[in-house]
Structures are given as C-alpha cells and as structure tokens.
Amino acid sequence: MRNSPDLRVQLAPRHPEGLILSNPVMIASGIAGYCGEYAEITDIQKLGAIVCKGTTLMPKEGNAQPRLVETAGGLLNSVGLENIGVDALIGEKAPVWAGWRVPVIVNVAGEAIDEYVAVTSKLEGVPGISGIELNISCPNVSSGGIEFGVDPELAARVTSAVKAATSLPVIVKLSPNVTDIKEIALAVEEAGADAISLINTLKGMAIDIDQRKPCLGNIVGGLSGPAIKPVALYMVFEVARVVRIPVIGCGGIACAENVLEFIMAGATAVQIGTAILTNPQLGLDVLEGIESFLRQHEIQNLTELIGIALA
Ligand SMILES: Cc1cc2nc3c(=O)[nH]c(=O)nc-3n(C[C@H](O)[C@H](O)[C@H](O)COP(=O)(O)O)c2cc1C
C-alpha cells in the first residue's frame, strides 16, 4: 500500500459542524484528570481526542478512601466524581487545551437536569472545548449520575435539555447497569444525541476478609479494565445494531486487537481507560497497531471495518 491508511472518523455526522477526529483512539474520562500532567509523559496531540474528568457545577471532594481496589483483570473504583468544578475548568484548564491540536471533550455530570444544563451552558463558546460527553452513568455518587442512565425517559429528558443548551456536539455515555441498554440508546438518539459512548463501569464490590469489611470506603464501586471487555463489546454490538448515530466503544481495551474488535462490532471510535494506568503510552501503541493491521490487510480507510462483524 503506497499511501498511509486513513484513520479519520466522524463522531457527529448529524451535527452542523460535525466532529472529525484524526483517528479513533480517545482517552476515557477520569483516567488522566484534565490531561495536563499526562501531556508531559505522552504525545497526546497524536490521539483522536481526550475526555476530561467528570465535571459538576461546584467542586466535589469525592468519596471516602480507599477508592481503588485491584481485582482479577480489573479495577474497582469509587472516586465519586471528585473534580474542580466547571468554573475552575474554564479558568485554568480550557486555556491550556485551546493551544492543543487534540480535541478535548468535557465529561459533564450532575445531580439534576438543571445542573447538567448549567454546566453545559457555562461551557458555551469557551475556546479549547470540542464537545460534551454527558455522564448519565456514574455508579459512584449517591444522587444523579446513574439514575438518569437507567431510565429511558429521564435519559431522553437530560439529553434534549443539554442539546438545547449547547452548540457543541453531545455524546451521551451509557451505563451497563441496565436490563436493556438498547432501550436507553434509542431514547437518547431520539432526544438528539450526536453520538453514544459505552460503557461506564459495572457496579461491583470487594471484601477485606481480615478486616471483615468492604475494601472500598464507599462499599460499592465501578469495575473497569480487561475483565469487562467482553461485556462492553457485547453492549456495543447490541447498540450499534439499532442506532444510526456513531457509537464509541469503551471498556477493558488494552491493545490494538481489542480496538479492532470494537470497531468490527460497530464502534466508530474507542476510549481507553484503566489500561492507560499500567501503560501510559498505550494510546500511541494502539494507533501503531491499527495502522499496521490496515497496511497488512491493504485496507485504505478504517471506516471500511466499522460494523463489519454485524453482517
Ligand atoms: C478511576 C476512574 C475514574 C473514572 N471517572 C469517570 C468520570 O469521571 N466520568 C465518566 O464518565 N467515567 C469515568 N470512569 C469510567 C471510564 O471512563 C470508563 O468508562 C470505564 O473505566 C471503562 O473503561 P476501561 O475499562 O477502559 O477503564 C472512570 C473510571 C475509572 C477507572
């Protein structure tokens, strides 16, 4: 193959301006905060996009320690949306992002529809922000978050309220902690979502048998990492079959082969989370791996592979 394969993907085809990424490899929310320090250890400008930590109207301290426990092939976390709040994000983080080539998507969280709308409205017109990811799927907060992600009507209401409050593309991030994820996906698509990302973490817990109590300060947490990949892949497959908007696959991705699986299952792009903690260069490694797969199979456009396993 003479030319380099084309890795570009369109994340928001029904948005007037669209959201084209140079490649499908994104960093998932909550893994590298606002990516300032992360930018010092890896060339994030080469990635498709990054998603920052879930951001609320006011700063949040998060849950009691301990907040992280390793499990077989996975990680349980109960960070509880600790974040600096939207005003500090606008004042301190967005000016840095404005100088970056890589698009930054802000993960917006809240306890009520009004809070999601207030955070999103504040982000309107702020340089350095390319999109909104609506977190209706956080399992680690006592109110809001996941409540919106498990009820199709609430999920639709928060999506349309946020869409009305922004000119940016809106990605809605779904929870796997539901009976039928297709129902929620269809509801947010109908409500105007430009894309859907999935999955957030699966609810889980661990017990310290010596102390005879739960390992996490919050008792319950969210499971991520390689252990959840088959579940995430299945859910992406399920959702991609029924929606027309792009699906962003996330959950347990740890190598280029995993990314290709998600793309073949119908994902237009992917987000990498937990595996970045053990290999900060993983995004770039994965990009190289995808490119070499395409060359080896003489595929000019990555988009040719999207959903190929659905047929
Ligand atoms: C420590 C930690 C913090 C997270 N914080 C957020 C968050 O603020 N907002 C969000 O939407 N997802 C958050 N997530 C979920 C991830 O973005 C991702 O959906 C999930 O971990 C599955 O992907 P992975 O297996 O590649 O980590 C967090 C995950 C972890 C491990």
pLDDT in tens, 260-300: 999 999 999 999 999 999 999 999 999 999 999 999 999 99
Cα distances (Å, whole numbers) of residue 241 to 8, 19, 108, 186, 196:
22, 22, 27, 11, 13
Given the structure tokens 């309220």, which residue do they identify? 161
Residue 149, pLDDT score: 87
Closest atom, ligand 1, to C-alpha of 133: 11
Closest atom, ligand 1, to C-alpha of 67: 1
| pLDDT above 90: percentage of residues in the chain | 93
Residue 148, pLDDT score: 86
Find out whether the beta carbon of 145 lies less than 6 Å from any atom of ligand 1: no
Compute the mean pLDDT over every residue in the chain, rounded to the nearest whole number: 95
**Cα 148 to Cα 157: distance, rounded to the nearest angstrom:** 9
What pTM was estimated for this model as a whole? Answer: 0.97
For the segment 108-161, what is each residue's pLDDT rounded down to a tens digit? 999 999 999 999 999 999 999 999 999 997 766 666 667 788 999 999 999 999
Residue 311, pLDDT score: 73
> How many Cα atoms are found within 13 Å in the side-chain-facing hemisphere of 227?
14
Ligand 1 pocket: which of 201, 202, 235, 253 to mutate (most atoms <8 Å of CB)?
Answer: 201
Of 242, 238, 142, 141, the residue nearest 198 (C-alpha): 238
Where is 281: in which H helix or E strand? Answer: none
Ligand 1 pocket: which of 224, 228, 231 to mutate (most atoms <8 Å of CB)?
Answer: 224
Given the structure tokens 């088959």, which residue do they identify? 230
For the segment 37-84, what is each residue's pLDDT rounded down to a tens digit? 999 999 999 999 999 999 999 999 999 999 999 999 999 999 989 999
**Cα 8 to Cα 18: distance, rounded to the nearest angstrom:** 13
Q: Which residues contact 154 (CB under 8 A, 6 or more apart)?
A: 136, 147, 148
**Cα 231 to Cα 193: distance, rounded to the nearest angstrom:** 23
**Cα 285 to Cα 259: distance, rounded to the nearest angstrom:** 11
Neighbours of 151 (CB within 10 A): 17
Closest atom, ligand 1, to C-alpha of 250: 23
